[in-house]
Amino acid sequence: MKQIFHQIVSSLMALLVLASTVSWTVDKHICMGRVMDISLFSHADDCGMDMDMEKSCCDDESFTVQGQDDLKISFEKFDLDQQVFLVSFVQTYFQLFEIDSEEPHAFNEYNPPPLIRDVQVLDQTFLI
């Protein structure tokens, strides 16, 4: 189970790195206010109504999402707030897995009441 979970997380992280480093371009061809074609990574096809008129009824729109070029993060570029957050996060994360070797005893000074009768023997009730 642990190995399968590790493979799934590794694959998701690889896809995340791939998606963040690739630049995405989306082209749209709009004719008379309606989207006729949408294309990813290439030019959108026109609708065929491209005539030599002064005012065309068609319009092309495109937008680009730039991916990261620099994936190497250095600790020198962190400002003081980011460093404080990183140190406190790591410290609290590792304290989650800290095991106490000795549990505290709250009743060290407490003496139990004296046992007058043994109830199990009187009632003849025994746990087997």
User: How confident is the prediction for the chain on average, in pLDDT?
Assistant: 81
Contact 26, 63 (CB under 8 A): yes
pLDDT at 85: 92
> Model pTM?
0.40
Residue type, 75: F
| Residue range 81-99: mean pLDDT, rounded | 86
| Residue range 18-34: mean pLDDT, rounded | 85
pLDDT at 21: 83
Residue type, 61: E
pLDDT at 14: 93
pLDDT at 89: 92
Give me the residue label for tokens 């009743």: 107
- Phi, psi (degrees; rounded to nearest 5) at 21: -100, -15
